[in-house]
């Protein structure tokens, strides 16, 4: 099983921070906290979790023209740097008012990341659910329970590529944290779940928007066109915080997961169906070489490994394939080849092919 770390930035989120962090830990991820100089109990609440799921809490402050600011670029660059230092296999870019899940109800967040990793992908996109209030509620110890209704994600929030396999050239600041970029990017076709609780009472909305955001935004970032969502708000009115029921949908995990899996299946099948059956062998060889580029694989070596993979799959479909031990690069190549071959076989009607593929023993020397 892989190891994953959520790198979480926070500022004055004492009401929700424990819920957010403990649910990440329950999902199998460790958490590294960047506290942007909170003036409430945020850091105090998290302190008992250090060494119990929380890797560390790092307090940072930023200044511009003599005032303390919310420097989003610097926070994102810190997250990039931490993902190169902490030694985890996968990382998630997370804020304090978020809860994350895999799209498989029976798999934890970590188990979902592990499935993506074993499938040969290195980036994960999320579907954003913004949870809204219809009226004020008491301060909650479980906002996920007490705020069950969501609105669709805004047009500027459609990109949520916020989990990545560790890589020294990761970039999450380039697109303001919305899109993680890395060489040889391969985004998994099924989106994960991103539950967001941005405003949790009228008082919280006033404080967050007017004091903790608008007064602290970096002028340099504003000049880049960032942080425009509150520009027209001189004050926060109830109509800015409370939504009507007809604009909201009640979240139900099972159908939402089913929708995400159906969506991903459509994408994958459309991609596979674009390949002419007569060109499948050439496509498979080319895509595998590209996936491992730069790599030691010559076209001839790739064809040999592909041939071995086909033989293994054929033997597994008739009974048991023998175990294979080889160089680590060769094993990685054959694992990907088996997954692609199994996908093609599945579309040809063999619905048990993935179980047979999983039973093939491939070990690195």
Sign for the CA dihedral angle at 118, 121, 124, 127 comes to: negative
Does one domain contain both 226 and 317? no
Tell which of 266, 297, 318 closes a domain: 266
Q: In degrees rounded to 5, what are phi and psi of residue 290?
A: -65, -40
Give the pLDDT confidence score for residue 295 in this predicted structure: 63
Does one domain contain both 252 and 284? no
Does one domain contain both 279 and 262? no
Does one domain contain both 242 and 295? no
Tell which of 244, 266, 288 closes a domain: 266
Does one domain contain both 234 and 328? no
Number of structural domains, the chain? 2
Among candidate residues 106, 68, 109, the one with its CA nearest the CA of residue 91: 109
For 19-49, letters b (16+ CB in 10 Å) and e give bbbbbbbebbbbbbbbbbebeeebbebbeeb
Q: What is the largest CA-CA distance in the chain?
A: 73
Domain encompassing residue 222: 4-266
User: What is the C-alpha separation between 51 and 54, in angstroms, rounded?
Assistant: 6
Does one domain contain both 48 and 172? yes
Does one domain contain both 261 and 293? no
- Residue-level pLDDT, tens digit, the chain, 365 residues: 999 999 999 999 999 999 999 999 999 999 999 999 999 999 999 999 999 999 999 999 999 998 999 999 999 999 999 999 999 999 999 999 999 999 999 999 999 999 999 888 999 999 999 999 999 999 999 999 999 999 987 766 789 999 999 999 999 999 999 999 999 898 999 999 999 999 999 999 999 989 988 889 988 888 888 887 887 778 899 999 999 999 999 999 999 999 999 999 888 777 767 777 777 777 777 777 777 766 667 788 888 888 999 899 888 888 888 899 988 888 888 888 888 888 777 767 777 887 788 788 998 87
CA distances from 6 to 9, 33, 156, 227 (A): 10, 8, 23, 23
Does one domain contain both 80 and 226? yes
The CATH number of residue 46's host domain is: 3.90.550
Q: Specify the pTM.
A: 0.81
For 182-196, letters b (16+ CB in 10 Å) and e give beeeebbbbbbbbbb
Does one domain contain both 222 and 316? no
Other Cβ atoms less than 10 A from the Cβ of 99: the count is 21
């Amino acid at each position: 099983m892989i190891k994953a770390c959520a790198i979480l930035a926070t500022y004055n989120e004492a009401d929700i921070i424990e819920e957010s962090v403990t649910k990440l830990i329950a999902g199998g991820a460790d958490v590294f906290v960047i506290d942007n100089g909170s003036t409430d109990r945020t850091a105090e609440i998290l302190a008992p979790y250090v060494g119990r799921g929380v890797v560390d809490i790092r307090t940072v402050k930023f200044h511009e023209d003599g005032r303390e600011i919310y420097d989003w670029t610097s926070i994102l660059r810190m997250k990039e740097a931490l993902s190169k230092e902490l030694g985890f296999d996968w990382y998630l870019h997370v804020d304090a008012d978020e809860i994350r899940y895999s799209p498989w109800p029976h798999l934890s967040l970590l188990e979902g990341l592990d499935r993506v990793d074993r499938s040969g992908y290195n980036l994960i996109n999320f579907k954003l659910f913004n949870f809204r209030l219809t009226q004020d509620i008491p301060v909650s110890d479980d906002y996920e329970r007490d705020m069950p209704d969501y609105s669709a994600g805004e047009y500027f929030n459609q990109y949520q590529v916020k989990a990545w396999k560790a890589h020294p050239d990761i970039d999450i600041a380039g697109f303001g944290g919305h899109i993680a970029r890395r060489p040889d990017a391969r985004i998994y076709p099924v989106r994960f779940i991103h539950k967001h609780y941005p405003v949790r009472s009228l008082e919280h909305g006033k404080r967050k928007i007017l004091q903790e955001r608008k007064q602290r935004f970096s002028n340099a970032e504003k000049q880049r066109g960032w942080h425009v969502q509150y520009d027209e708000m001189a004050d926060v009115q109830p109509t800015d915080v409370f939504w009507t029921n007809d604009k909201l949908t009640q979240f139900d995990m099972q159908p939402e997961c089913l929708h995400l899996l159906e969506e991903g299946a459509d994408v994958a099948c459309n991609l596979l169906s674009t390949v002419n059956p007569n060109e499948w062998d050439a496509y498979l060889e080319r895509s595998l070489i590209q996936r491992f580029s730069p790599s030691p694989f010559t076209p001839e070596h790739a064809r040999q490994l592909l041939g071995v993979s086909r033989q293994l799959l054929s033997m597994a479909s008739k009974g048991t394939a023998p175990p294979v031990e080889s160089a680590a690069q060769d094993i990685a190549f054959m694992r990907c080849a088996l997954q692609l071959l199994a996908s093609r076989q599945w579309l040809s009607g063999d619905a048990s092919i993935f179980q047979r593929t999983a039973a093939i023993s491939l070990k690195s020397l």
